[in-house]
Amino acid sequence: MTDIHDVRGLAVLGLGRSGRPATLLARRRLPEARVWAIDEGAVAGEVRAELEAAGATVLAGPDVSGAGGAVLPAAAELLVASPGVTPASPVLQEARRRGLPVWSEVEFAARFLPNWLIAITGTNGKTTTTALAGRIVADAGLPVAVGGNIGHALANLPDAVPAEAVVVAELSSFQLENIEAFRPDVAVLLNLTEDHLDRHGGYAGYVAAKLRVFENQRRGDLALLNADDPGTLVAAIPGGGRRAWFATGDGVEGQVAGVSGGRLWVEAGGRRHDLCAAGELSLKGEHNLQNSLAAAAATAAAGVAPASIARTLRTFPAVEHRLQVAGVVGGVTYVNDSKATNVDATLKALTAYSGQVFLILGGLSKGSAFDGLAVATEGLVKQAVLIGRAAPEFERAYAARAAASPGSAVPFVTLPGLAAAVTWCAERARPGDVVLLSPACASFDQYRSYEERGEHFLRLVSELQARTDGA
Q: Is residue 73 part of a domain?
A: yes
CB 264 within 8 A of CB 294: no
Whether residue 357 sits in one domain with residue 420: yes
Q: Is residue 172 part of a domain?
A: yes
Model's pTM, two decimal places?
A: 0.75
Question: Domain of 178: which CATH number?
Answer: 3.40.1190.10
Whether residue 279 sits in one domain with residue 368: no
CB 179 within 8 A of CB 133: no
Tell which of 35, 68, 100 closes a domain: 100
CB atoms within 10 A of CB 436: 27
CB 461 within 8 A of CB 332: no
CB 177 within 8 A of CB 347: no
> Per-residue confidence of the chain (471 residues) as pLDDT tens digits?
788 989 999 999 999 889 999 999 999 999 999 999 999 888 889 999 999 999 999 998 876 765 455 589 999 999 999 988 888 899 999 999 999 999 999 999 999 999 999 999 998 888 889 999 999 999 999 999 999 988 789 999 999 999 999 999 999 989 999 999 999 999 999 999 877 666 767 888 989 999 999 999 999 999 999 999 999 998 899 999 999 999 999 989 999 999 999 999 999 999 999 999 999 998 887 888 999 999 999 999 999 999 999 999 999 987 778 888 888 898 899 999 999 999 988 988 887 776 789 999 999 998 888 999 999 999 999 999 999 999 999 999 999 999 999 889 999 999 999 999 999 999 999 988 999 999 999 999 999 999 999 999 999 999 998 887 765
Whether residue 181 sits in one domain with residue 53: no
288 is an active site residue: no
149 is an active site residue: yes
Report the C-alpha gap between 144 and 117 in whole angstroms: 10
Whether residue 359 sits in one domain with residue 374: yes
**Burial letters 64-103, b for 16+ CB under 10 A, else e:** bbeeeebbbeeebbbbbbbbebeeebebbebbeeeebbbb
The one catalytic residue in 124, 126, 152, 456 is 126
CB atoms within 10 A of CB 9: 16
CB atoms within 10 A of CB 279: 8
Q: Is residue 1 part of a domain?
A: no
E strand map for 298-344? 324-329, 332-336
Whether residue 127 sits in one domain with residue 238: yes
pLDDT tens digits, 376-427: 999 999 999 999 999 999 999 999 999 999 889 999 999 999 999 999 999 9
Instruction: Give residue 44's pLDDT.
Output: 87
Instruction: Give residue 196's pLDDT.
Output: 65
Q: 244 has which bridge partners? A: 224
Whether residue 129 sits in one domain with residue 88: no
Whether residue 218 sits in one domain with residue 172: yes
How many residues does the structure list for the chain? Answer: 471
**CA neighbor of 169 nearest in space, from 137, 197, 195:** 137
**How far, rounded to the nearest angstrom, does the alpha carbon of residue 409 sit from its chain's CA centroid?**
31
Whether residue 293 sits in one domain with residue 237: yes
Is 230 exposed, middle or buried, given 0-12, 13-18 or 19+ CB atoms closer than 10 A? Answer: exposed
CB 65 within 8 A of CB 90: yes
- Whole-angstrom CA distances from 238 to 12, 103, 174, 259, 430 are 29, 19, 18, 27, 51
Contacts of 76 (CB under 8 A, 6+ apart): 9, 10, 11, 36, 95, 100
Tell which of 294, 315, 336 closes a domain: 315
Instruction: Give residue 25's pLDDT.
Output: 97
Instruction: Give residue 70's pLDDT.
Output: 59
Question: Domain of 33: which CATH number?
Answer: 3.40.50.720
The one catalytic residue in 124, 152, 196, 216 is 196
Q: Is residue 65 part of a domain?
A: yes
Question: Domain of 365: which CATH number?
Answer: 3.90.190.20
What SS3 state is found at 332?
strand
Read out DSSP for 399-442? HHHHHH-TTTPPPEEE-SSHHHHHHHHHHH--TT-EEEE--SSB
- Whole-angstrom CA distances from 3 to 78, 107, 224 are 11, 12, 29
As for how many domains the chain has, the answer is: 3
Report the C-alpha gap between 64 and 11 in whole angstroms: 12
Whether residue 239 sits in one domain with residue 143: yes
CB atoms within 10 A of CB 446: 16
Report the C-alpha gap between 237 and 221 in whole angstroms: 13
The one catalytic residue in 115, 124, 149, 156 is 149
Q: Is residue 151 part of a domain?
A: yes
Q: Is residue 2 part of a domain?
A: no
Whether residue 185 sits in one domain with residue 141: yes
What totals of helices (H) and strands (E) does the chain contain, helices first? 17, 20
126 is an active site residue: yes
Tell which of 45, 77, 100 closes a domain: 100
Instruction: Give residue 86's pLDDT.
Output: 87
Whether residue 303 sits in one domain with residue 399: no
CB 48 within 8 A of CB 58: yes
Provide the 8-state DSSP code for 152: B
Q: Is residue 458 part of a domain?
A: yes
Whether residue 267 sits in one domain with residue 133: yes
Instruction: Give residue 67's pLDDT.
Output: 46
Report the C-alpha gap between 324 and 335 in whole angstroms: 6
Strand order in the sheet with 434-437: 324-329, 332-336, 434-437, 357-362, 383-387, 412-414
Question: Domain limits at 75?
Answer: 8-100
Q: Is residue 3 part of a domain?
A: no
